[in-house]
Structure formats: structure tokens, C-alpha cells
């Protein structure tokens, strides 16, 4: 058992602003100190006692410039090592919104070097597994999200198609030993690093998909990524099971400060409530002599029960933003951390016996004992007595009874079946005699005593038999259960493999055009990733116009540059990997080429030695051979280092692919949101216009007297000049903003058959000018008369015009 307090670390988020308000001292023998020097004017604002200096102790504080690698080495690696040894481990990040919790736990979404604790820990663990061939490791992953006190499975494929609220809730079940079980939370097997990273990606994508502006899940939900590890020595019946929880908590901001109302306030209260219960548990644990710890008050504390004051090695990272306006929250975070540091955990090695292996071992033991017995007796003991054996035994018993010699022995050998049979035969005879069956005299006292003894022995033997029967049936039951579990696992695996087979192959580049095309080859590769974006592919195929708008949208998106950079980097890395692959082949060929003359040289020397009949000739120093060996050694070294580099490149390429795929999903999501907002704003504006004129087809613009329902064009310069013009990448347009520059076009109600063109017929090269000139011609925008369709068309035209007016013609 390892007794340890929860380890606390601090991490400061980088800021460009003046940061003279704090100092870090990592040199202290007793740990590190983080000191806040709050100016008096600021102190007036948020604390009453006007303290100016706040000093907090941590194990270590990671200042702004510290990189992800160092955080991993110091914090996560020791925890991962304990988990490998068979202890449970937890790392959780706590801090206000935007202070860097997700960056620390999962990592940044832009660069490979920004990988956080989860991907780095996965990499580290799988590498350790591959280095340790003496053990068999199996890993499963679960990813739980707690939002408004409800648990959701982030690896549930239904995420794509359903709203968060419609998904099955994860339920907490407690067994009589007070162990927590989570119903509806899937455990997915991950055989290697790639599969584990795909699961992480799937969960993060599902979390992002469920997000709406009203539900910024990343800020308001708690996420627990858990790796379940099972370690066993081949052939041994003991195994070690351990769990590693990597937890990204919701922002700890105080509700009063957030200025929220309505639904957001309700959410904030829930989050604060669950963090409040977390605090309650921590306070209770840090107080001596507290017998009741209120774990059951919230889902978060129930799930993390072991991590807080239980069987776990736990580490907390307090994330802080140190610009002045965040100082009070940072100080609260530090205070919380100080309380957490008082909690003592007692981690034990989670060792258990594997029932399947135990049964197998017992069966083997039984078999070898049987064989041993058969060897000693020279007889096989399997099965029932044969008819011949029974006849022989009956004759033996009869002869035994008939023999007048009182010392006569019934020789049956050490075979329990025969002994049992003879006893039952004797019993039957005795009973028969008692009933007066053959008229013989009643038994003597000695005979009676004998028979009583025999009966007692029979009873004893029968009891033994019942015991053995029970044992056997228990073992058989256990075996059946294990078999069923194995079959289920195989079936599940088969399903996964089938699912994966149906997913199409990965395309590493991010191309905008095929992004939204149904059945496009540009889909995400293996199962988990494939499932993450299937919902996008299932949607209806986009019209050419929407597709075009999407292309422009992507070009103008805030993430565009990062995506392009990552694409370039991915290309570079792939080219480098190809080059190293070729180098490896060449090096292998060179080694083989060098081996040939070496072989010849050795053979020649051996022949020479035989001819000279001289052993020393064979062991003589040979400069040619020495030279060849040196060359081979050098080539081998170069080969090994190239393999190492290739491995690192592979991980980086896979990560870049995941980043690009995540960016892809985000782009699609942003685009759909932006598009529907545009559409609804057009609808709204139409409705307003109608209500102003009082006629269903009227507008606020004067209608052409000869063609009722026609609307006068509004110069598109209005669009360009609008100060509140939205940036599509940011999706921040308000309905009011949009209404102010929605072009009200002179278009006929219904489709213009003479033109026969639809909006989607416009190609960027030929028609973009006609749409971005000062007026929109009535003949260029045919409407259908269907309110919804017309709203879509107008939304498209407006969106397109809006984009083109800023971006120029598509290249
Ligand atoms: N150490 C860091 N280095 C560089 N960028 C960082 C660092 N920490 C945080 N950031 C950036 O700051 C922003 C907010 O960080 P992050 O999303 O991790 O905060 P958070 O605490 O998880 O917020 P929330 O509570 O809303 O989930 C992100 O853009 C992130 O990339």
C-alpha cells in the first residue's frame, strides 16, 4: 500500500499583458511557491481585508513559457508509471474558464507540439507495453462527459445523430461493497496507440458536435477520459487491473462574476453545484475525524470517489490566468488547491485471480493427478464401472461373505468407485436380510457394529462426493461464464472489425470541395474516426451553390491558415517519411551487400585453417573482415536511428491527420450554423417586410406597379459599406445586423421559365460579378414561390454576395 497526499501542481497560462503581479519560486526545498502581489487598488475591488500578498505552496509551478513536454514529464509520467505497476491514477485540471485546462489535459488543436497529457500518456504507455515482452497488456478506454449533473458516453456513436439531451444517460450503480459501476458507459478496447488516439478524437469530436452556442460543453461540462489497464504474466493466474482517469473539469468561475442569465445561469449553477460538492468532499476529507464523506451528492464526486481519499494516486493541476482581471479567480483556485493538498490517499496494488485461468489450472492439476493415479494403479479411472467389472465385484462380495474365515479380506484396490459399489451392494444385502429376504439368522453384535461402521463410512464418503460435486459444478459455472464473456468479446470485436471495414480509407489531405459530398472518397479512415463524421456524410448532398459558398467560407475561416499550415506540414512529414523509408531500404540492401563479402572472407579463412590444419589461423586478426564488420555496424546504427525517426514521424503524421479531421468537422459545423442563421434571418426579414406592407407578398420597398410582388433591388454597395458586416468564420452575426443589409431583390414570385436557371447554376468564374455589382438584376434571381426554398435561395445569394464583396472572385 502506498500512502500519499494528493500532489498539487500549478500552471500559468501565457499572457502578453503585464504580469508583475505574481512570482514563482521553484527552488524551495520544501516545494515551490507561487506568490501574488495584488496592488492595493485591485485588492480594494475584490477582497475586504486589503491583503496585498498571497503565497501558496505547490509541488512545482509551471510558468508561462513551460512547454507541454515538460508538464508531461513532471506530472503525467510518474502517474503513468504507477498505473503500469498496478495502482490506480488520476490527474485532474482545475481552474477558471479559459485558464488552460483543456490545453493541459488534451492539448491544443493546432500544432503537434501542443499535444497534451492524454495523447502523450497514451504514447508513453503503448511504448512501455512494447518494451515489456514478459507481460501481456490489455487496454480499454471509456470517455464520460458530465453535463448538468447527467452523464453521457462520449464514445457513443449515436452522438452524431442525436441531441445531447436525447442520448442515453450514464447511470451510477453501487454494489453491496460500495463499488461504483457506470451503466451505459461503453468500454472500448484499444490494441495500440493509434486506436486509443482515435477514441480520444472520436470523444472530442462528439463533444464538439453536441456544442451549440447555448451549450458550450467544453466550458460547462466535466470530461473523464479513463484508460483501464490489465496486466498479466503469461500462464500466471494473477492479474493486475488499474485505472487511469484524466479529468478536464468545467470552469470554476464563480456564478456571480459570470453575469449569466436564463439557461446559461441554470447551467452555471449546476456546474458550480457539482464543483461545490467536489469542494465539500475535499473539505470533509481534509478534516480529521470526519466519518461521513458526501460523495453521493453529485455524479462527479461519485465517479471520482476512489481518486479522492481512496485507492488512487491522484494529482491536481491548478491552471491559472494571471492578468489582473483574473487574479481573484486564480487566488480562489490556489486556495482550493491548498485544501486538496491535505487529502491522503491509500493506493493498493489491484491484484486478483483470473477465474478462467484458475479453472484451467485446477483442471490441469486434476488431470495430472489422475495420470499419476493411473500410473500407480495401472488402471484408468475415467467413467463408470463396466458391466463386466460390476459382475466381477458381485462375485467377489459373494465369495467374501460366503468365506467362513473371519479374517478374510475383500481386496478392491485403491479405486473409490469399486469401494463405493461394494458398500452399496453390502448395504442392499443387509437391508434385504433385515427384511427377512433369505431367512438367514440375524447378524451378530459384531456384524452389526461392522455394518454400522461401514454405513458411517459410506455416509462420510457420500458427503465427500457431494462436496466434490458442488466444487465441480461451481467451477463449471465459472467456466461457462468466462466462455460466454470471451464469446461476447469476440462478437463485439467482429462487429467493430466489420464496422471498420465499411468505413472508407483515410485521405490525409483536407480538400474543401469533397468535404461535403456524399460518398466522397475523402472520408475519415478507421472505425472510430469514421463514425465521428458519419453524420456529416449522411446529410443531403449540397447544391452547387451551397458548395461554392462553403468553399468561400472555408477560405475566409479563422482556422484557414492553421489548416493550410498543418496540411503543408503533413505533406512535408509524409515526404520525409517516404524518404526515410527509401533510405531504410537502401541501408538494408547495403548491409546485405556488405554481409556477402564478409561471408566469403570468413569461409576462405575457415578453409585456409582446415588446409593448414591450424586452429589459430581461423582466429587471426583479419583487417579486411574487421573493416567490413565496422561498416556493417555503422550501417546498422544509421538504420536503427532512421527507424526511430520514422516511428516518431508516424506518430506526428497520425496526430496531424487527427487535427485536420477535427478542423474539418469544426468547419462543417460552423458553416451549417452560419448558413442556417443566414436563412432564418432572410425569412425573418421577409416576414417583417410583409407585415409592413400588409400584403402577403409585399415588401417594404415600392413594388413595381405592373408586376405585383416584384421587389425593388437594393444596391449591393449597402452590403459592402455595412459596418456590422459579419465574418463568416466567426459566425457572430445578429439577426438585426443581417436584416440591415439583406438585399431585397426584384424577383418574380415563382420560377422564371424563360431564364430556366437556378441559383446553383451560377459558376464562380462567370457569374460572381453579376451578383456583386451594384444592383441585382430581377432576371438573375428566379424564386420558386415556396417560402422555405426561396429563403434558402436568398440566404445563399446574400451569403455569397457578402463573402464575395470581401474576398473578391474565387480563384
Ligand atoms: N500553456 C498554454 N500555452 C498556449 N496556449 C494556451 C495555454 N493554455 C491555454 N492556452 C490557450 O488558451 C485558450 C483557452 O484554453 P483552454 O480551452 O485550455 O481553457 P480551459 O480552461 O479548458 O477553458 P474551459 O473551462 O472553457 O474549457 C485556448 O485557445 C488555448 O489554446
* β partners of residue 393: none
- Alpha carbons 20 and 323: distance in angstroms, whole number: 9
pLDDT of 116 higher than 90: yes
107 C-alpha vs ligand 1 centroid, how far in Å? 9
Residue 506 confidence class, pLDDT cut points 50, 70, 90: very low
Confirm if 61 and 9 have CB atoms less than 8 A apart.
yes
Q: What nine digits make up the cell of 148?
A: 448538468
pLDDT digits (tens, 9 = 90+) for 221-278: 899 999 999 998 887 878 899 999 999 998 887 655 545 555 555 555 555 677 888 8
Choice between 294 and 262, residue whose per-residue pLDDT is larger: 294
- Sorted by sequence, the CB contacts under 8 Å of residue 75 that are 6+ apart come out as 9, 91, 117, 315, 317
Q: Considering the chain, what is the average pLDDT of its residues?
A: 74
Q: Is the CB of residue 86 below 6 angstroms from any atom belonging to ligand 1?
A: no
108 C-alpha vs ligand 1 centroid, how far in Å? 8
Task: Please give the average per-residue pLDDT across 736-742, as a whole number.
Answer: 34
- Sorted by sequence, the CB contacts under 8 Å of residue 17 that are 6+ apart come out as 323, 324
- Alpha carbons 563 and 606: distance in angstroms, whole number: 63
Choice between 483 and 525, residue whose per-residue pLDDT is larger: 483
- Alpha carbons 811 and 247: distance in angstroms, whole number: 45
97 C-alpha vs ligand 1 centroid, how far in Å? 8
Q: Is the CB of residue 702 below 6 angstroms from any atom belonging to ligand 1?
A: no
Handedness of CA 277, 283, 285, 288 (dihedral sign): negative
Q: Which of 301, 198, 227 is nearest to 533 (CA)?
A: 198
Q: Is the CB of residue 103 below 6 angstroms from any atom belonging to ligand 1?
A: yes
Q: What nine digits make up the cell of 73?
A: 514529464
Least confident of 70-79, 99-108, 280-289, 656-665: 280-289
Mutate which of 13, 19, 208, 316 to test ligand 1's pocket (most atoms within 8 Å of Cβ)? 13
532 C-alpha vs ligand 1 centroid, how far in Å? 23
Q: Where are the alpha helices (DSSP H) in 503-619?
A: 527-538, 544-556, 560-612, 615-619
Q: Which atom of ligand 1 is nearest to the CA of 248?
A: 22
Residue 664's pLDDT is 86
Residue 807 confidence class, pLDDT cut points 50, 70, 90: low
Task: Please give the average per-residue pLDDT across 412-437, as a whole number.
Answer: 84
- Alpha carbons 299 and 244: distance in angstroms, whole number: 18
Residue 484's pLDDT is 75
Q: Which atom of ligand 1 is nearest to the CA of 105?
A: 18
Residue 628's pLDDT is 85
pLDDT above 70 covers a percentage of the chain that reads 69
Q: Is the CB of residue 95 below 6 angstroms from any atom belonging to ligand 1?
A: yes
- Alpha carbons 725 and 742: distance in angstroms, whole number: 11
Q: Whose Cα sits closest to atom 14 in ligand 1?
A: 98
CATH fold for the domain made of 2-346: Kinesin (3.40.850)
Q: Whose Cα sits closest to atom 1 in ligand 1?
A: 13
Q: Is the CB of residue 97 below 6 angstroms from any atom belonging to ligand 1?
A: yes
Strand, helix or coil for residue 706: coil
Choice between 521 and 428, residue whose per-residue pLDDT is larger: 428
pLDDT digits (tens, 9 = 90+) for 666-722: 888 888 888 777 777 767 776 777 676 654 444 433 333 333 333 333 333 333 333
97 in a known ligand binding site:
yes
37 C-alpha vs ligand 1 centroid, how far in Å? 24
Q: Is the CB of residue 107 below 6 angstroms from any atom belonging to ligand 1?
A: no
Q: Which of 15, 67, 62 is nearest to 34 (CA)?
A: 62
User: What are the φ and ψ backbone dihedral angles of 213, each rounded to 5 degrees?
Assistant: -55, -25
- Alpha carbons 406 and 429: distance in angstroms, whole number: 18
- CA–CA distance from 270 to each of 336, 601, 798 (Å)? 19, 79, 40
96 in a known ligand binding site:
yes
100 in a known ligand binding site:
yes
pLDDT of 502 higher than 80: no
pLDDT digits (tens, 9 = 90+) for 795-805: 777 777 776 66
Q: What nine digits make up the cell of 598?
A: 564478409
Q: Is the CB of residue 258 below 6 angstroms from any atom belonging to ligand 1?
A: no
Residue 451's pLDDT is 73
Q: Is the CB of residue 108 below 6 angstroms from any atom belonging to ligand 1?
A: yes
pLDDT of 756 higher than 70: no
Q: In angstroms, how far is CA 582 from the centroid of its own chain?
A: 34
- Alpha carbons 420 and 466: distance in angstroms, whole number: 14
Residue 438 confidence class, pLDDT cut points 50, 70, 90: low
Strand, helix or coil for residue 141: strand
330 C-alpha vs ligand 1 centroid, how far in Å? 14
Q: Which atom of ligand 1 is nearest to the CA of 251?
A: 25
Q: Which of 7, 98, 107 is nearest to 60 (CA)?
A: 7
Residue 536 confidence class, pLDDT cut points 50, 70, 90: very low
Handedness of CA 463, 469, 471, 474 (dihedral sign): negative
How many C-beta atoms surround the C-beta of residue 571 within 10 A?
A: 13
Q: Is the CB of residue 208 below 6 angstroms from any atom belonging to ligand 1?
A: no
Residue 504 confidence class, pLDDT cut points 50, 70, 90: very low
Mutate which of 98, 101, 318, 333 to test ligand 1's pocket (most atoms within 8 Å of Cβ)? 98
| Range from 90-99, 338-347, 544-553 that averages highest in pLDDT | 90-99
Strand 238-248 versus strand 89-95 pairing type: parallel
pTM: 0.61
- CA–CA distance from 362 to each of 237, 372, 376 (Å)? 11, 15, 21
Q: Is the CB of residue 218 below 6 angstroms from any atom belonging to ligand 1?
A: yes
Residue 560 confidence class, pLDDT cut points 50, 70, 90: confident
Q: Is the CB of residue 101 below 6 angstroms from any atom belonging to ligand 1?
A: yes
Confirm if 559 and 667 have CB atoms less than 8 A apart.
yes
Confirm if 248 and 93 have CB atoms less than 8 A apart.
yes
586 C-alpha vs ligand 1 centroid, how far in Å? 45
Confirm if 152 and 164 have CB atoms less than 8 A apart.
yes
- Alpha carbons 24 and 30: distance in angstroms, whole number: 14
Task: Please give the average per-residue pLDDT across 111-118, as a whole number.
Answer: 93
Residue 359's pLDDT is 82
Q: Which of 171, 188, 200, 180 is nearest to 307 (CA)?
A: 180
Q: Is the CB of residue 782 below 6 angstroms from any atom belonging to ligand 1?
A: no
13 C-alpha vs ligand 1 centroid, how far in Å? 7
Q: What nine digits make up the cell of 433?
A: 436380510
CA-CA-CA-CA torsion for 596, 597, 602, 604, nearest 10 degrees?
Answer: 120
Strand, helix or coil for residue 464: helix
Q: Which atom of ligand 1 is nearest to the CA of 106?
A: 18
Mutate which of 71, 92, 100 to test ligand 1's pocket (most atoms within 8 Å of Cβ)? 100
- What radius of gyration do the chain's Cα atoms show? 39
Residue 176, sorted as left (phi over 0), alpha (psi -120 to 50) or beta, turns out to be alpha
Task: Please give the average per-residue pLDDT across 182-207, as a whole number.
Answer: 92
Q: Is the CB of residue 574 below 6 angstroms from any atom belonging to ligand 1?
A: no
pLDDT digits (tens, 9 = 90+) for 587-605: 888 888 888 888 888 888 7
Q: Whose Cα sits closest to atom 20 in ligand 1?
A: 98
pLDDT of 367 higher than 90: no
784 in a known ligand binding site:
no
- CA–CA distance from 405 to each of 114, 162, 477, 797 (Å)? 96, 91, 50, 119
pLDDT of 530 higher than 60: no
pLDDT of 469 higher than 50: yes
pLDDT of 292 higher than 90: no
DSSP one-letter string for 285-325: HHSTT-----GGGSHHHHHTTTTTTSSSEEEEEEEEE-SGG
* β partners of residue 292: none
ipTM over 0.90: yes
- Alpha carbons 334 and 319: distance in angstroms, whole number: 9
439 C-alpha vs ligand 1 centroid, how far in Å? 102
Mutate which of 68, 108, 258, 267 to test ligand 1's pocket (most atoms within 8 Å of Cβ)? 108
Residue 782's pLDDT is 59
66 C-alpha vs ligand 1 centroid, how far in Å? 14
CA-CA-CA-CA torsion for 576, 578, 582, 587, nearest 10 degrees?
Answer: 50
Q: Is the CB of residue 221 below 6 angstroms from any atom belonging to ligand 1?
A: no
Task: Please state the domain extents for the chain.
Answer: 2-346, 356-488, 540-668, 670-807
- Alpha carbons 65 and 533: distance in angstroms, whole number: 35
Q: Where are the alpha helices (DSSP H) in 503-541?
A: 527-538
Amino acid at each position: 500500500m502506498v500512502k500519499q497526499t494528493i500532489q498539487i501542481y500549478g500552471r500559468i497560462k501565457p499572457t502578453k499583458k503585464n504580469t508583475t503581479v505574481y512570482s514563482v519560486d521553484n527552488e524551495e526545498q520544501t516545494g515551490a511557491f507561487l506568490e501574488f502581489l495584488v496592488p492595493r487598488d485591485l485588492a480594494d475591488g475584490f477582497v475586504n481585508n486589503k491583503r496585498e500578498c498571497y503565497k501558496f505552496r505547490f509541488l512545482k509551478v509551471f510558468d508561462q513559457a513551460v512547454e507541454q513536454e515538460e508538464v508531461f514529464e513532471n506530472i503525467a509520467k510518474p502517474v503513468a508509471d504507477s498505473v503500469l505497476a498496478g495502482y490506480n491514477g488520476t490527474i485532474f485540471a482545475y481552474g477558471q474558464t479559459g485558464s488552460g485546462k483543456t490545453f493541459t489535459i488534451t492539448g491544443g488543436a493546432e500544432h503537434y507540439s501542443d499535444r497534451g497529457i492524454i495523447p502523450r500518456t497514451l504514447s508513453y504507455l503503448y511504448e512501455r507495453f512494447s518494451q515489456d515482452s514478459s507481460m501481456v497488456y490489455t487496454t480499454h478506454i471509456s470517455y464520460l462527459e458530465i453535463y448538468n449533473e447527467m452523464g453521457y458516453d462520449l464514445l457513443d456513436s449515436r452522438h452524431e445523430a442525436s441531441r445531447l439531451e436525447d442520448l442515453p444517460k450514464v447511470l451510477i450503480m453501487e454494489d453491496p461493497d460500495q463499488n461504483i459501476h457506470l451503466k451505459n458507459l461503453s468500454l472500448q478496447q484499444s490494441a495500440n496507440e493509434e486506436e486509443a488516439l482515435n477514441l480520444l478524437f472520436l470523444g472530442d469530436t462528439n463533444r464538439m458536435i453536441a456544442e451549440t452556442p447555448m451549450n458550450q460543453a467544453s466550458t460547462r461540462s466535466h470530461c473523464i477520459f479513463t484508460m483501464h489497464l490489465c496486466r498479466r504474466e503469461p500462464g500466471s493466474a494473477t492479474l493486475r487491473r488499474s485505472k487511469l482517469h484524466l479529468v478536464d473539469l468545467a470552469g470554476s468561475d464563480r456564478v456571480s462574476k459570470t453575469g449569466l442569465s436564463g439557461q446559461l445561469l441554470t447551467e452555471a449553477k449546476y456546474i458550480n453545484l457539482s464543483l461545490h460538492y467536489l469542494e465539500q468532499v475535499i473539505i470533509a476529507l481534509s478534516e480529521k475525524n470526519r466519518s461521513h464523506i458526501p460523495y453521493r451528492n453529485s455524479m462527479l464526486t461519485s465517479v471520482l470517489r476512489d481518486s479522492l481519499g481512496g485507492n488512487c494516486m491522484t494529482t491536481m493541476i491548478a491552471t491559472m490566468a494571471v492578468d489582473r482581471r483574473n487574479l481573484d479567480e486564480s487566488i480562489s483556485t490556489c486556495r482550493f488547491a491548498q485544501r486538496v493538498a491535505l487529502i491522503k490517499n491509500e493506493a493498493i496494488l489491484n491484484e486478483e485471480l483470473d477465474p478462467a485461468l484458475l479453472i484451467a489450472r485446477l483442471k490441469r492439476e486434476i488431470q495430472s493427478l489422475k495420470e499419476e493415479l493411473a500410473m500407480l494403479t495401472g488402471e484408468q479411472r475415467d467413467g463408470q464401472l463396466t458391466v463386466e467389472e460390476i459382475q466381477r465385484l458381485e462375485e467377489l462380495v459373494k465369495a467374501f461373505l460366503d468365506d467362513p474365515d473371519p479374517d478374510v479380506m475383500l481386496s478392491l484396490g485403491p479405486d473409490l468407485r469399486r469401494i463405493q459399489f461394494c458398500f452399496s451392494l453390502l448395504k442392499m444385502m443387509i437391508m434385504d436380510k433385515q427384511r427377512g429376504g433369505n431367512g438367514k439368522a440375524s447378524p451378530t453384535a459384531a456384524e452389526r457394529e461392522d455394518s454400522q461402521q461401514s454405513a458411517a463410512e459410506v455416509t462420510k464418503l457420500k458427503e465427500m462426493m457431494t462436496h466434490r460435486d458442488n466444487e465441480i459444478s461451481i467451477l463449471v459455472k465459472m467456466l461457462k461464464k468466462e466462455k460466454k464473456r470471451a464469446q461476447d468479446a469476440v462478437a463485439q470485436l467482429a462487429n467493430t472489425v466489420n464496422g471498420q471495414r465499411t468505413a472508407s480509407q483515410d485521405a490525409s489531405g483536407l480538400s474543401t470541395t469533397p468535404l461535403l459530398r456524399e460518398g466522397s472518397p475523402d472520408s475519415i479512415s478507421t472505425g472510430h474516426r469514421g463514425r465521428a463524421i458519419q453524420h456529416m456524410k449522411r446529410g443531403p448532398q449540397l447544391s452547387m451553390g451551397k458548395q461554392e459558398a462553403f468553399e468561400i467560407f472555408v477560405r475566409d475561416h479563422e482556422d484557414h491558415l492553421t489548416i493550410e499550415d498543418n496540411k503543408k506540414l503533413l505533406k512535408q512529414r509524409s515526404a520525409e517519411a517516404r524518404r526515410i523509408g527509401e533510405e531504410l531500404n537502401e541501408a538494408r540492401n547495403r548491409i546485405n551487400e556488405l554481409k556477402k563479402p564478409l561471408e566469403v572472407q570468413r569461409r576462405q579463412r575457415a578453409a585456409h585453417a582446415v588446409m593448414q590444419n591450424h586452429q589459430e589461423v581461423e582466429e587471426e586478426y583479419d583487417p579486411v573482415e574487421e573493416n567490413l564488420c565496422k561498416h556493417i555496424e555503422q550501417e546498422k546504427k544509421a538504420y536503427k536511428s532512421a527507424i526511430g525517426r520514422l516511428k516518431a514521424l508516424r506518430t506526428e503524421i497520425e496526430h496531424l491527420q487527427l487535427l485536420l479531421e477535427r478542423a474539418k468537422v469544426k468547419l462543417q459545423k460552423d458553416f451549417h450554423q452560419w448558413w442556417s442563421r443566414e436563412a432564418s434571418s432572410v425569412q425573418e426579414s421577409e416576414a417583417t417586410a410583409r407585415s409592413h406592407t400588409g400584403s402577403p407578398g409585399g415588401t417594404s420597398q415600392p413594388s413595381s406597379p405592373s408586376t405585383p410582388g416584384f421587389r425593388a433591388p437594393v444596391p449591393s454597395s449597402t452590403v459592402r459599406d455595412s459596418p456590422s458586416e459579419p465574418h463568416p468564420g466567426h459566425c457572430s452575426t445578429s439577426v438585426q445586423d443581417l436584416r440591415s443589409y439583406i438585399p431585397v431583390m426584384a424577383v418574380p414570385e415563382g420560377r422564371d421559365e424563360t431564364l430556366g436557371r437556378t441559383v446553383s447554376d451560377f459558376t464562380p468564374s462567370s457569374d460572381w460579378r453579376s451578383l456583386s455589382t451594384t444592383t441585382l438584376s430581377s432576371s438573375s434571381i428566379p424564386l420558386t414561390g415556396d417560402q422555405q426554398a426561396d429563403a434558402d435561395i436568398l440566404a445563399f445569394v446574400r451569403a455569397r454576395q457578402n463573402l464575395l464583396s470581401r474576398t473578391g472572385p474565387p480563384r
